[in-house]
Every structure is written in C-alpha cells, then in structure tokens.
C-alpha cells in the first residue's frame, strides 16, 4: 500500500490561492488567563517549554505567549540551525515530529527513529540515540516516520517502527529500559508520540492495513512493564462485538489502529483517541455490521484502560476514512453554558464536535441515508455533522478515464469496478495536527483536497498471514491535482470563519499563538506565519527542506522562541533534510536555498 501511495503523489506547485474570510472576534488576554486558572500543570498552556506533544494534555497546540505578534513577526530570523548528522534523509523517510522543549533542551525524533537532544542556548547536540531499524521491516504501511517523543520522570519515551518502546535518560540519552511493545513481524508499528501521565506511558499501536487488531497500551514509566491494554475491536462477549460477523473471526484482525497521541482530561480521568479504518479496507462483504470501534472517537479511563464511551464517525467504513488527526479538547461557552468539548477533524472532511463527558454531539450530527451496494454490506446511514465541510465532498466533472457515479459524493459505494469520489484516501484531515485558539474558540485544520478511486477484490474470510497486507482491494491514482486547504472553524457552530485553498497539500499541521499568529509549514521548505483573523501571510522563511511538522513555541530567559523541524516528507514529495531551526526576533540567520546542505549548529 505504501508504494501505491507514493506513486499517487503528484508534482507540487506552491502558489497561494483564494481566501474566504469573515471578521474574527478580537482575542482576549483575559480569556487566556481564565483558560489557565486552577488547572493541573500540563493542562495549562505551555510557556517555558513545550512539555508534551500537543503543547498541553488537551492537544491544543496553542501558545499563550505574545512577545512575537502580528506587528513584529516580520523581523523573525534564525538563531541557530542544527543538523542531525544526516539521519533519515533517504527517500523512504518522513520528518513529522513536533519538537519537545523541556528545561532548556529540544528533543526531536527523526523518521529513522533516531532521537536527539539539542541545547536551546547553543544549538549544540547534547546526545544522540540510534534506533538501528531493520531495513527488512515490511510492516511499515504508511511511511517510515515518527511523530514525536514524550517526557516524564526524567526520561524521554519513544515508540519505534520495529514495535519497541524505549525510555532514555533525558540528560544523557542512555537507554533506561527497552521493551517489545508489539512485534513488527506481526504487522505492528509505533508511529505516534507516547503520552506520559502519572507514572504511565500510553501508546497507540499502528498497523491497520496489515490484518491486525487495534489496541492502546499503558506501560509503567519506571520499568516498562505492561499495566493495561484496551483493544479497539471488542472480543466475543464484549459490547460492540455484535457489530462484527458472528460466523467468522474477522474481528481478530479487523484494524482500528491508533496513529496519534491521545488527549487527556485529568479532571475526568479519561484519555481520548480516534481510531483507524476496519480491515480489510476495501471489501466490506466479509465484515457485515458497523465494525466497532473502528473509525471512531473513543474515551477510556487513563489509569485502567476501561471503556467509557465511543462515537463512531463512519459506520462500516469502505473508504479509509479513519481518524489519524489528533483529538483536541476545549472548554467553551455554547448557548450560554460552558461545555467540556472535544473536536476531531476527519478524513471525511468534517469536524466532529462532542461532549467529552459522554460522547454526545455538542453541535448536531445527523444520521442520513446513503447509497447502497448490497455486495459491500453497506451501512444504511452515516453520521453527517451540521456546519461546514473543510474540503469538497463531491466532484463536478469526471476525471479523465472515469465515469462519474452519484456525483462522486462522499459515501458513494463501489464494487469491483473503479469508482471515483471525494474526499479521497489521502484527502481530508490526515495526521497533520489541528490547533485550537482558546481566545476565539476556533479550530485550525490543515487538510488535503484530493480525489481517489476505489475498487474491491473478491475475497473470502480467510485470515491473512501475519504481517501481510490485508486491504481487500485497492485504490487508484487519477489525473486531478492534489490541493490543500487551511481552514478556521468556529467550534460553537462548526461553521467556516475563513478558508484558503493551496496549490499544494497542507501537510505540516498548525500551531497558534496568543500573538495572533498561526505557524504553518509548506512542502517547498517555507515556514509561514499567518494572521489568525483571516489567514493573511505575514512572514515566511525558507528552511532548506520540506517543513512537514508542526512547530513548537516557548519562552526562555524572558525571550520567545519558535523551534521547527525541517526534514521533508515521502508522502508530500518534499525535499529531504536534517534541520532543526530556532527562531527569535533578535535572530541573525536568514533563509537558505531549498535543499541546502550548508549550515551551522551554533549561533
């Protein structure tokens, strides 16, 4: 499948395009202060570091710092540019990790699962950990990558593509413990950044396209011992298993894996994550039913892994409309009452807005009838969130070589002939994280406007060999370009506030600041700062390689910094590199040419 995806990538042309906007409310400093009041440390908005993958446990990717703002961001320059010894610059690797910043050190993981600690003050590499991944690993479905590390208990925790979970001494990089969380030979990989909470290291396990049963695991931060496991596919006799066939064992390898870092509400004691599609991906005939808890948002108890609630975004998914975009938590006044909310931006092109206490919609979600294909055992209805989609969900004209069915609309079924539609398998919101502005209640979504064609292969319910692809069909490339969208949506209404369409994919994620800025990377190597009110570009800087990871923002000794990992991406087709850049208003380093191999790791 990975080879198909790479072949499907089209040439990218970097051109800013049309902007649709309305006036945004003025951000309030008091709103930021209220958001921080009386909260545990990692629920508070990050200031003197970036201590967890999403900035805080809510995965908001929002900085309350205001030293760099709309009026002066044009002066931002590089303080230093560190090079990561050529780690992960080969074609198969992608640089998707958001930097962690703790106690004056930047921690970053490369697509080769090598980890680095970099001194904030000097840009010097303090230590390096080499993962030494086995090149024979055939279980890497969707790119050789790593989306970040976790910090806690004086250790750095990292999941690896070979199924290992390692704990490193944060000061020296020495291995404290290393355990085999899952075996790659059985189709499992670890791509998401772990979540550290109260002595636990919580990690989602990836690998849905290889006939595995999805799971989230919690390990002791002290020694790596397994504490609990939550399976995203219920076993026989458990609630939810009735949504799988009772005359076969497909549920045992039914997918539903987890690609991202869970969000955490310590007051409720719950973690929240979204799950991958069911398997086999493109043939639903052998898995009749809704296939819980695939393509869903799930809440479980952080300390025990006990199931609390779920909301399924796509029933009996046939289109790879899984949920790789991290769940975001927020507290927001809706209809005059402060609600504990949750948002998940999906590959369907919708944001699903839920009450995180019980999983019920905060903004309406309607079950609507959809077209049927009996051979695929299609679901009779699908959830349709009220509000606006952030990418197109239909086609007006058939792509060359295809006949258009049902206008190429979302949820159009298919069988063994190719059927084309939008969003595609690489459309909507993929892994690049969304960001939430606590001052305005807006969610910023980095997404792709792409079509795909699908067809099923006729198969039986025979269990696939361990580690083998199990997708039950395939998807095809087509002639339409791959475009990107960047969208601000109001979480009170799920309506678009403003939106841009890009001539290339939006494939980096977003970080937002109280200074009125949204930092977004571009495939051509630029880091850009946009006005959160309307998306107007205020600053750009060429980093030398694809900027395909979200930036982190922090303060040190009274000065605000932005740190970015510039390494390129196999899916985006962007230039590879091994750069970590630190930016500040008094920086002196300017942009470098794309693909530049010269640089410095000192101010």
pLDDT at 83: 98
Neighbour tally for 447: CB within 10 Å: 30
49 DSSP 8-state letter: -
Q: List own/partner pairs for 500-503 with CB under 8 A and 24 or more apart.
A: 500/16, 500/17, 500/18, 500/19, 500/20, 500/535, 501/17, 501/18, 501/449, 502/14, 502/15, 502/16, 502/17, 503/12, 503/13, 503/14, 503/15, 503/16, 503/17
CB 489, CB 442: distance < 8 Å: yes
Q: Among 125, 133, 53, which residue's Cα sits nearest to residue 92? A: 133
Asked if 146 and 99 touch (Cβ cutoff 8 Å), the reply is no
What is the model's pLDDT at position 39?
Answer: 52
pLDDT at 40: 66
Distance CA(179)–CA(182), nearest Å, equals 9
Taking the CA atoms of residue 243, residue 429, residue 41 and residue 49 in that order, the dihedral angle to the nearest 10 degrees is 150
Domain boundaries, the chain: 2-584
| DSSP secondary structure code for residue 57 in this structure | T
User: For residue 487, which of 411, 366, 387 has the smallest C-alpha distance?
Assistant: 387
pLDDT at 466: 86
For residues 447 and 236, the answer to whether their CB atoms sit within 8 Å is no
pLDDT in tens, 289-317: 999 999 999 999 999 999 999 999 999 99
Report the CATH number of the 2-584 domain: 2.140.10.10
| Pair type for strands 16-21 and 62-63 | unpaired
d(C-alpha 172, C-alpha 128), whole Å: 9
Instruction: Give strand ranges (E) for 45-174.
Output: 62-63, 77-83, 100-102, 105-109, 115-119, 125-129, 150-152, 155-159, 164-169
Question: In this predicted structure, what is the pLDDT of residue 491?
Answer: 98
Pair 531, 516: CB distance under 8 Å: yes
What are the average pLDDT values for consecutive 10-residue runs of the chain, which has 603 residues?
Answer: 37 29 41 47 94 98 98 98 97 97 98 98 98 91 92 98 98 98 95 97 92 97 98 98 97 96 98 97 97 98 98 98 96 94 98 98 98 98 98 95 95 96 95 97 97 94 86 86 96 98 97 98 98 98 98 98 98 95 98 70 43
At 594 the pLDDT is 85
pLDDT at 553: 98
């Amino acid at each position: 499948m990975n080879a198909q995806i790479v072949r499907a990538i089209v040439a990218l042309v970097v051109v800013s395009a049309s902007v649709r906007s309305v006036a945004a409310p003025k951000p309030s400093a008091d709103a930021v202060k209220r958001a921080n009041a009386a909260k545990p440390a990692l629920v508070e908005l990050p200031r003197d570091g970036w201590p967890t993958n999403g900035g805080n446990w809510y995965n908001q990717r929002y900085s309350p710092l205001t030293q760099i703002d709309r009026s002066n961001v044009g002066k931002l320059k590089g303080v230093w540019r560190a090079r990561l010894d050529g780690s992960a610059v080969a074609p198969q690797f992608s640089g998707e990790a958001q930097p962690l910043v703790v106690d004056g050190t930047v921690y970053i993981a490369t697509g080769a699962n090598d980890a680095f600690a970099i001194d904030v003050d000097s840009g010097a590499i303090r230590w390096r950990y080499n993962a030494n991944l086995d090149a024979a690993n055939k279980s890497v479905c969707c790119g050789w990558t790593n989306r970040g590390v976790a910090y806690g208990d004086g250790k750095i925790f990292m999941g690896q593509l070979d199924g290992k979970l390692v704990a490193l001494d944060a000061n020296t990089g020495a291995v404290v413990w290393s355990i085999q969380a899952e075996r790659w030979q059985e189709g499992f990989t670890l791509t998401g950044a772990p979540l550290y909470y109260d002595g636990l290291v919580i990690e989602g396990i990836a690998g849905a396209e290889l006939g595995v049963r999805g799971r989230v695991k919690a390990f002791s931060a002290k020694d790596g011992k397994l504490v609990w496991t939550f399976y995203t596919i219920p076993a026989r006799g458990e609630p939810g298993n009735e949504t799988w066939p009772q005359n076969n064992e497909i549920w045992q390898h039914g997918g539903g894996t987890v690609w991202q870092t869970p969000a955490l509400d310590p007051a409720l004691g719950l973690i929240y994550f979204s799950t991958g599609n069911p398997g086999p991906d493109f043939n639903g005939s052998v898995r009749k039913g809704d296939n819980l808890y695939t393509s869903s948002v799930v809440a479980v108890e952080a300390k025990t892994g006990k199931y609390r609630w779920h909301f399924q975004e796509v029933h009996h998914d046939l289109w790879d409309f899984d949920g790789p975009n991290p769940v975001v938590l927020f507290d927001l006044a809706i209809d005059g009452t402060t609600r504990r909310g949750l948002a998940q931006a999906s590959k369907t092109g919708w944001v699903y807005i839920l009450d995180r206490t019980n999983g019920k919609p905060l903004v309406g979600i309607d079950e609507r009838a959809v077209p049927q294909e009996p051979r695929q055992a299609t679901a009779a209805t699908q959830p349709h969130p009220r509000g606006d989609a952030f990418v197109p969900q239909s086609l007006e004209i058939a792509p060359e070589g295809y006949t258009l069915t049902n206008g190429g609309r979302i949820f159009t079924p298919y069988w063994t002939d190719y059927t084309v539609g939008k969003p595609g398998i690489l459309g909507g919101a993929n892994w690049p994280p969304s960001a939430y502005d606590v001052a305005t209640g807006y969610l910023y979504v980095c997404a792709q406007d792409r079509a795909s064609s699908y067809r099923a292969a006729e198969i039986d319910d025979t269990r696939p060999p361990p580690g083998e692809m199990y997708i039950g069909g395939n998807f095809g490339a087509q002639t339409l370009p791959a475009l990107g969208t960047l969208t601000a949506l109001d979480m009170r209404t799920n309506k678009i506030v403003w939106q841009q369409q890009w001539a290339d994919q939006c494939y980096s994620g977003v970080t937002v600041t109280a200074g009125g800025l949204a930092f977004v990377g571009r495939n051509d190597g630029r880091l850009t700062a946009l006005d959160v009110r309307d998306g107007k570009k205020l600053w750009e800087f060429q980093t030398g390689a694809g900027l395909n990871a979200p930036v982190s923002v922090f303060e040190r000794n009274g000065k605000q910094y932005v740190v970015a990992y510039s390494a390129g991406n196999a899916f985006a087709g962007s230039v590879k590199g091994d750069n970590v850049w630190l930016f500040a208003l008094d920086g002196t380093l300017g942009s470098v040419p794309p693909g530049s191999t010269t640089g410095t790791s000192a101010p």
